[in-house]
Structure 1
Amino acid sequence: MNSPDPIWTIHATLTAKGFTYIGPPATYQGPIKVHGKTVTIEAAFSDLSFATLPVVRLVDGAALGERQIAHLLVGGGICYTDEGGLVLDLYDPGGAALRVLNEAAKALERSFGARSRHEFDNELAAYWRGRYFYSAMQLPSSPAIVAADIVKLGTGKPSGLVLVARDAWQAKGNTREQATVLVFDRPLRHAEGFPPERLDQAIAYIAGQEKPPPGWQAAVLDASARLEDILLAAPNAIVGWRSRLTGTLALIHAKPKGFRPNFLRASLASRTKEVMLKHESATKADLRFCVGRNLDGRTGLIGKRVALIGCGTIGGYLAHLLVQNGAGCDAPLTLYDPDTLKPGNLGRHVLGFGDLARPKAEALAAFVQGFHPDVDVTYRQGNALADWDALARCDLIIDATGDANVSTALNDPYLRARMDGQQLALLHAWVFGNGVAGQSFLNLGDGLACYRCLRAGFGGQWRYNPMRDPDAEVRRAPAHCGEGGYVPFPSDAPVAAAALAVRAAVDWAGGEPGHRMRTTIVDPVHGRDRLAWVSPDPLAQCAACSG
């Protein structure tokens, strides 16, 4: 079916709206109405599939009568998409063009009226601009003045500048500059003359904010005399500056026969107009923010003491998922595994070639530390069962060994600990058969089944067998010199088991543990069509928990 060329459809649509073609790639200029006033915009349609959205720029907004307008980017670009993005129909290019114009007009309209200040304040950092870095500090929740460092990491990457607590991240190759952070518990507000260009204007700006931290003015002058970076950290922005002395202050600082910081500090109070500001801004990147941003209001595993036993194929993927959901944030994550990484492990492990011959627990601890330097993770290369006293101090023990002997051995001291009143949770995760399914089982010692109850007696059938043929034999690969035999399965099965386990852990941490036995079928040929999630009752004659 033939359809009109989309570029001509867009051209006809826009020219009918009073727009004029001004050049490639499909760039048009014309009028739109904003609260009844006419402004001129420019719209460039460079990608007619709309995978890349058209760029819209405000050319003439004089009719709006506003000196500063929210939702404007550098160069006048209009940020016209909201948090959910904007979906455009490539099969209706004319309608898509009209929707872009409409969304641009609505974005500008939000800059006026009752919400205008709120809209601008939400984007305050975008208008401050200047040198950019990340803030990995977990800041206090109430107004405070905090000593910090801006660390230049020895990586040479764009993320090389990071704001951290004073003297934190003392890694080799890092260099640092001292900074003073003024913490606000209320959003920073837009003000006349924003952003400030001199220290006197910055002081006036801070004075006009709601609840600045006590002692802020002396702290600003002290930090300025030391030529420290000064940052204002609030719920809506982290912005600041580095001071550049001019006039008499520059002469005092450059005096060849000894620079006296106290004299410079005394001179600053009356010469704040001689201090020019080089703007800086930062984006939040502290561990709690990185973890909590996607938890949708839940706490996840933040503050939970977690032990992960087994750093193999399941444990590797699971460790990464655990830290992304809060393990190692405000409480330790401890990894246990006695083995080293071998070539045969690589095909289904999260670790790679560079970790060969390293202890799995050590290498995995380093891997998850790469998620964020402040992850609290430790490792122990040895038998976790020999360290039961430490395990018993955890909130959650996760068995990712996939070894029925280890799982049963963990089940026994766990049940005794629960009988003694300890509030532990024990979570098992394993791959069934040759990758037919991933399964997880959560034991809370609350009268439901224990791990031993999942079989109908020792050596008996699994009560929740995901195999289409329950009597099918599990294929095993033979042992080779230096390595034992193993059960072959592709990497999707341990990923499924890890995903089930982390979801069970997050549900438990949120106080809604849900179904204790969970299954995800990975192999639809050899696995059942579906295996319902259940909370199994205990076996009456279970050797572990019935007595």
Structure 2
Amino acid sequence: MMADDTPLAALGRAMKARGFEYIGRAPDEWLEFHGAIKAAGAAHVACLAVDPSGLELPRIRVELPQGAPDVLAHIGADGHVCYAAKGSLVLDIFDIAGQTLACIDRAAEVLDLSLSGEMNKDLEDEFFAFWHGDICILDVYPGDPGNLDVLFAGRGDHDSHIAFVTNDVVRTRLKLKAMSLTEGELLAGAAFRVRTSAKPKPLQGAWPPPTVAPLLQWQGLLDPSARRNIERRLLVAYASGRRAALCVVDSPLTQYAFWVAFETANPPGRRSAADARVQLYASKAYPMIAVRMDDRYVTQRNAPGRPTLSGKKIALVGCGTIGGFLAELLLKAGAGLEDGELALIDPDILFPQNIGRHRLGLNRALQNKAIGLKEELAVGAPTANIRALPVKAEEADLTRFDLIINATGEEALGHYLTVTFARRGMFVPILTVWVEGPGVAVRGLLRDTVECACIRCLSELQRAPLYPVVNEPVPLELAGHGCEGLYVPFPASVSIQAACLAAEMVTDWTGGTPGPRLRTRVTRPGFTQAAPDADVARRHTCPACGT
């Protein structure tokens, strides 16, 4: 098969010792072996395909015994054994033989447990491995009332169209535009949803259900109430003369869908209820892979069980090197959604020399930063409520926000905001985030109650720091030419770390765990953090918040 001193030669010898015969190369150049795997008290003919590079898990397929259920946990319809998820094992390209034998042992264990019925519970978790079909994208919040429409859309250079199910066509059209999709046919009211208390799992027998009759039988075994609702809604759709209907099922595990194409369009009032049922039961049913794209799910998907920024009114003051990146992170955490608002406040113009460490690029140069950032972010988040205010913070009404974020790097602005609110007898939580010196560290300070420290509380009246950032002296570094061209140099990676720190503190605040309210992240080698992260109390002698 190959030279004796190669890993593949060792693989051939190991497989032969295990009773597998080398057959040859598959069309994709993988090595094929035939043999047997012992499970459930019997030997099962098996075919193995091994990646010669060792970078992929071996493919293992077995011939199932007569009388085996048509649906088995971790066993595909063609006998393919799903014994490990991709990426769940560390592969060793220097020991292809050893890792292949280990995979055979694991596949035998899975096959044994599956044939004995001990893994049937796993059918719920891998339901979609058996529920194949076209993609159906859901732009509907679970539990939202109202009729559902089906909107077909696709790319101009493709014939196939994807079904989008929505209860707000205007909202979904904004998303289709952002996805560069061309809108096709709109079927108003062609979809409906049914809630069930049962987690879906495949039916032992013919699968997936080819027509409505076995589909309803399957649903009846899972949840009789849901089965009755599905049948009733399908009969209504059929009686109204529709050609088809799409059903979305809200289950405790996930959402799934199926499409029913009625065999004969039923003219309203032309058939009896009994005839309608006969025709409905014979109609073909097509499973659909439901993919959610509603804003709530997209926001919560990567932080399950944690509060998001949806519904919050947040003012981001400063759309520069920190604020630009931070605005995008806030959007991904839900800012501007579900009656929330993200206000971007900055009076300045983006000059070309600044794009090296800015979220915006050359296409936004010589534009107002707040307006350019709003337009740029709206492309990827068309349903978010983003407002651009190209004014100074002093000129904006900040009293109506749930949180103000000062990302300008201007300490004096923080003092001004604190004093202004105090003199008005008002309080709005303020998060300040900044870069220390030439990128030595990034810091964030949250003042979410009147007893918490403001930015001025971090130093004595003579401005000596009470909570030094690092143990080493912070260097004074300037670059540029002339008074107006001087700036403090640090790379975009530092700006991004400052934005990440601020986003972390905002989500913690939203989740009810705001501490520690003073946080530091050292970003330059050779420096060590001095003052530990902590909740800092207000200093009653502070000229800003002590008034």
Instruction: Tell me the TM-score normalized by structure 2.
Output: 0.84
Cα deviation 1:494-539 (Å, max 9, x = unaligned): 11111111111222222222222111121224x4465522333434
1:184 counterpart residue number? 196
From 239, 252, 275, give the equivalent of 2:283. 275
Q: Distance in 1 between matches of 2:305 and 2:87?
A: 18
Contact 2:357–2:491, Cα closer than 8 Å, also in 1: yes
Aligned-residue offset at 1:83: 8.5
Find out whether 1:497 has 2:498 as its counterpart.
yes
Q: Which amino acid aligns with 2:192?
A: T
2:347 counterpart residue number? 338
Instruction: Provide closer, same or farther for how the CA distance between residues 530 and 91 of structure 1 changes in structure 2, counting only shifts above 3 A.
Output: farther
Find out whether 1:132 has 2:145 as its counterpart.
no
Q: Distance in 2 between matches of 1:339 and 1:308?
A: 14
Instruction: Provide closer, same or farther for how the CA distance between residues 361 and 148 of structure 1 changes in structure 2, counting only shifts above 3 A.
Output: farther
2:234 counterpart residue number? 220
Segments of 4+ in structure 1 off by > 6 A? 155-159
Find out whether 1:546 has 2:546 as its counterpart.
yes
Question: Would you say how many aligned residue pairs link Structure 1 and Structure 2?
Answer: 523
Q: Distance in 1 between matches of 2:10 and 2:382?
A: 52
Q: Which runs of 5+ in 1 are unaligned?
A: 253-259
Contact 2:356–2:492, Cα closer than 8 Å, also in 1: yes
Q: Distance in 2 between matches of 1:151 and 1:99?
A: 47
Find out whether 1:316 has 2:317 as its counterpart.
no
Secondary structure at the counterpart of residue 230 of structure 1: strand
Instruction: Provide closer, same or farther for how the CA distance between residues 279 and 523 of structure 1 changes in structure 2, counting only shifts above 3 A.
Output: same
Aligned-residue offset at 1:340: 3.9
Aligned-residue offset at 1:367: 4.1
Aligned-residue offset at 1:154: 5.4
2:298 counterpart residue number? 290
2:21 counterpart residue number? 20
Aligned pairs for 1:123-272 (under 5 A) are 123-140=126-143, 146-152=147-153, 161-167=163-169, 168-171=171-174, 173-175=182-184, 176-177=186-187, 178-191=190-203, 192-210=205-223, 211-212=225-226, 215-224=229-238, 225-226=241-242, 227-246=244-263, 249=264, 260-263=267-270, 268-272=276-280
Instruction: Provide closer, same or farther for how the CA distance between residues 399 and 9 of structure 1 changes in structure 2, counting only shifts above 3 A.
Output: same
Q: Distance in 1 between matches of 2:76 and 2:291?
A: 17
Aligned-residue offset at 1:23: 1.6
Aligned pairs for 1:42-61 (under 5 A) are 42-50=47-55, 52-56=56-60, 58-61=61-64
Aligned pairs for 1:80-159 (under 5 A) are 80-82=83-85, 85-112=88-115, 116-140=119-143, 146-152=147-153
Instruction: Tell me the TM-score normalized by structure 1.
Output: 0.84
Secondary structure at the counterpart of residue 33 of structure 1: strand
Instruction: Provide closer, same or farther for how the CA distance between residues 114 and 479 of structure 1 changes in structure 2, counting only shifts above 3 A.
Output: farther
Q: Distance in 2 between matches of 1:364 and 1:73?
A: 48
Q: Which runs of 5+ in 2 are unaligned?
A: none
Secondary structure at the counterpart of residue 130 of structure 2: helix
Contact 1:7–1:26, Cα closer than 8 Å, also in 2: no
Aligned-residue offset at 1:314: 0.8
Secondary structure at the counterpart of residue 12 of structure 2: helix
Instruction: Provide closer, same or farther for how the CA distance between residues 330 and 34 of structure 1 changes in structure 2, counting only shifts above 3 A.
Output: farther
Secondary structure at the counterpart of residue 269 of structure 1: helix
Find out whether 1:36 has 2:41 as its counterpart.
yes
Contact 1:221–1:265, Cα closer than 8 Å, also in 2: no
Contact 2:522–2:528, Cα closer than 8 Å, also in 1: yes
Instruction: Provide closer, same or farther for how the CA distance between residues 461 and 292 of structure 1 changes in structure 2, counting only shifts above 3 A.
Output: same
Aligned-residue offset at 1:469: 5.3
Moved more, 216-225 or 82-91: 82-91
How much identity, in percent, do the aligned residues show?
A: 27
Aligned-residue offset at 1:349: 1.6
Cα deviation 1:58-86 (Å, max 9, x = unaligned): 23012671212232457543322248712
